[in-house]
């Protein structure tokens, strides 16, 4: 039984599958050649991340395919309902990358409040000739401790982000229409843990209260944060999107940066991904990463093992 991991899979996942008799193919096949490759090589399970799209043409064109797996949380690159209607198993790994994404959010937040996104651009260019000017330019940093983090979407990643915020000493407020109450447990290295109980607030109240905002929602048909939402925020807010491109209106985002409503933005995902707009890429107040929220060795190992476990359960 052959599994095609078209966007790659960790060695831990490969080992777990091969141990019980699966053959794992890690060739990266071009989108337009997938149907032919799957049929020619008798592939029964297709594993993807965000690069490969699994639409109706692949589902209809590969009658021997039994399972589609997404190494990650969101499955907007898969026609999930259609695949299930055709009798295919569709799986993902909702728990595996939460901590990695949360840490990236805080990388953007820490970098934002201390201007690292801009300092790292300018120090190589002018650090030897304009050191004093740069020092003055980046002298008005702020601390995260004591500030309020607003979390829009309080699923696994939202709660993992809240854990770090609480550990840093921030106040956390969240808005999630599907989760009225939530408990977040912050564990420590010595086995101790502290539990925090929360109640969801409205998005409008969160936007008015938060000093920093992070968005953790699936792909949406409409913007979660647009012009009206930016107007509700305090002046000087920092915002991070490590969820999905298109949940924040990037035109309104640029306007909010230009008029001082936002002090900085951190973006790991983009509306026009994989070709982000030049205005976004060149803006001096945006911290940028190329959709790497789950791109840690630890997360990829967990993703590979979680996929392997589900495949073995469903197909073996």
Tens-digit pLDDT string for the chain (316 aa): 999 999 999 999 999 999 999 999 999 999 999 999 999 999 999 999 988 999 999 999 999 999 999 998 888 899 999 999 999 999 999 889 999 999 999 999 999 999 999 999 999 999 999 999 999 999 999 999 999 999 999 999 999 999 999 999 999 999 999 999 999 999 999 999 999 999 999 999 999 999 999 999 998 889 999 999 999 999 999 999 999 999 999 999 999 999 999 999 999 999 999 999 999 999 999 999 999 999 999 999 999 999 999 999 999 8
**Residue 112 and residue 211 in one domain:** yes
Q: 3-class SS at 146?
A: coil
113 and 146 co-located in one domain:
yes
Rounded to an integer, what distance in angstroms lies between the CA atom of residue 35 and that of residue 310?
Answer: 23
Residues 143, 46 within the same domain: no
- The phi and psi torsions of 217 (rounded to 5 degrees) equal -130, 160
Assess whether 272 and 243 both reside in one domain: yes
CATH of the domain at 153: 3.40.50.720
pLDDT score at 139: 96
Q: Are strands 286-288 and 171-175 parallel, antiparallel or unpaired?
A: unpaired
Domain count, the chain: 2
What pLDDT sits at residue 179?
Answer: 96
Same domain, 246 and 140: yes
- Asked whether residue 126 falls in the same domain as residue 263, the answer is yes
What pLDDT is stored for residue 72 in this prediction? Answer: 86
Length of the chain: 316
265 and 182 share one domain:
yes
Same domain, 192 and 217: yes
For residue 229, is it left (φ>0), alpha (ψ between -120 and 50) or beta?
A: alpha
CA–CA gap between residue 184 and residue 310 (Å, rounded): 27
Provide the pLDDT for residue 50.
Answer: 84
Q: What are phi and psi for residue 280, nearest 5 degrees? A: -75, -50
- Separation of alpha carbons 258 and 234, rounded Å: 15
pLDDT at site 291: 94
**Predicted pLDDT at 219:** 87
- What's the predicted TM-score (pTM) here? 0.89
Residues involved in catalysis = 244, 273, 291
The pLDDT, as a whole number, for residue 25 is 97
Domain enclosing residue 127, as ranges = 98-288
The pLDDT of residue 94 is: 85
Specify whether 87 is located in the same domain as 110. Answer: no
Q: State whether 113 and 86 are in the same domain.
A: no
Do 236 and 303 belong together in one domain?
no
Q: What is the DSSP letter of 31?
A: G
Residues 87 and 148 in one domain: no
What are the tokens at 108? 């953007």
């Amino acid at each position: 039984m052959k599994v095609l991991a078209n966007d790659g899979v960790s060695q831990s996942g490969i080992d777990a599958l091969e141990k019980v008799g699966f053959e794992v193919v890690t060739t990266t096949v071009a989108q337009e050649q997938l149907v032919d490759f799957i049929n020619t090589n008798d592939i029964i399970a297709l594993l993807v991340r965000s690069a490969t799209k699994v639409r109706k043409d692949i589902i209809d064109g590969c009658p021997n395919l039994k399972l589609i797996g997404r190494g990650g949380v969101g499955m907007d690159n898969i026609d999930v309902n259609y695949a299930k209607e055709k009798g295919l198993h569709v799986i993902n790994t909702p728990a595996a990358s939460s901590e990695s994404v949360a840490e990236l959010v805080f990388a953007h937040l820490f970098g934002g409040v201390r201007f690292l996104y801009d300092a790292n651009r300018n120090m190589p260019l002018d650090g030897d000739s304009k050191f004093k000017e740069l020092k003055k330019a980046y002298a008005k940093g702020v601390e995260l401790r004591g500030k309020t983090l607003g979390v829009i979407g309080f699923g696994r990643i939202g709660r993992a982000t809240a854990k770090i915020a609480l550990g840093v000493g921030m106040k956390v407020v969240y808005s999630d229409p599907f989760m009225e109450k939530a408990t977040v447990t912050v564990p420590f290295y010595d086995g101790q843990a502290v539990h925090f109980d929360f109640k969801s607030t409205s998005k409008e109240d969160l936007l008015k209260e938060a000093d920093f905002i992070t968005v953790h929602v699936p792909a949406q048909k409409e913007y979660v944060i647009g012009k009206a939402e930016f107007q509700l925020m305090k002046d000087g807010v920092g915002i991070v999107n490590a969820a999905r491109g298109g949940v924040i209106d990037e035109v309104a985002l640029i306007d909010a940066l230009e008029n001082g409503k936002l002090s900085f933005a951190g973006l790991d995902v983009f509306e026009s991904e994989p070709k982000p707009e030049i205005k976004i890429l060149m803006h001096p107040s945006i911290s940028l990463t190329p959709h790497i929220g789950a791109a840690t060795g630890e997360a990829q190992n967990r993703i590979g093992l979680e996929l392997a476990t589900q495949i073995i359960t469903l197909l073996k």
